[in-house]
Amino acid sequence: MKAVYPGSFDPLTNGHLDIIKRAARLFDPLIVAVLGNSAKNTLFSVEERIELLKEATKDIRKIEITTFDGLLVDFMHNNKAEIAIRGMRALSDFDYEFQMALTNKGLYDRMETVFLVSKGEYTYISSSLVKEITQLGGDVSNMAPENVVKALWKKLKN
């Protein structure tokens, strides 16, 4: 069954990578869909995020990496996918993710949302935190893949 793991991935974290690995064991294929039209002011371009994802996931089978703009339900319908993967770090994520799941279900009845709970060591990690720590000169090597850490240093320390 085809599933989609959508996100901005700005930048990819070890938490994201863990969800990708675990979802790839459950679904074939897993489409990792990078949001292109995010209202967020992203650090990395869509192309850079896709390249960072491809490098970090090169050993994971059964995944496709692409980009999308607009509504997730439209992307899923156009790609004949019915499962959306969402990672949950903490109880605080639940309200937002629950509302999104119900909204998406209302827009695309065939869509189901599968929540994967983050491993304990990743519950505090967010892309925003990784960027902020890097900007302040901190070590994020335990929070993001090596290629992402290098790209962050290059981007933020120039």
**DSSP state, 74?**
H
Active-site pick, 25, 40, 54, 110: 40
Spatial distance between the Cα atoms of 92 and 96, rounded to a whole number of angstroms: 8
Active site residue 89: yes
Residue 77 annotated among the catalytic residues of the structure: no
Please confirm, yes or no, whether 40 is among the known catalytic residues: yes
Whether 16 sits among the annotated catalytic residues: the reply is yes
Burial class, 58, CB count within 10 angstroms (exposed 0-12 / middle 13-18 / buried 19+)? exposed
Measured CA to CA, the distance from residue 28 to residue 2 in angstroms comes to 5
Q: Which of 16, 49, 86, 131 is catalytic?
A: 16
Q: Which residues is 86 bridged to in the sheet?
A: 115
> Which residue type, as a one-letter code, is found at position 94?
F
SS3 (DSSP) at 42: coil
Active-site hit among 86, 118, 127, 131? 127
Helix, strand or coil for residue 145? coil
Q: Given the residues 2, 22, 77, 89, select the one marked as catalytic.
A: 89
Q: Which residues are catalytic?
A: 16, 40, 89, 127
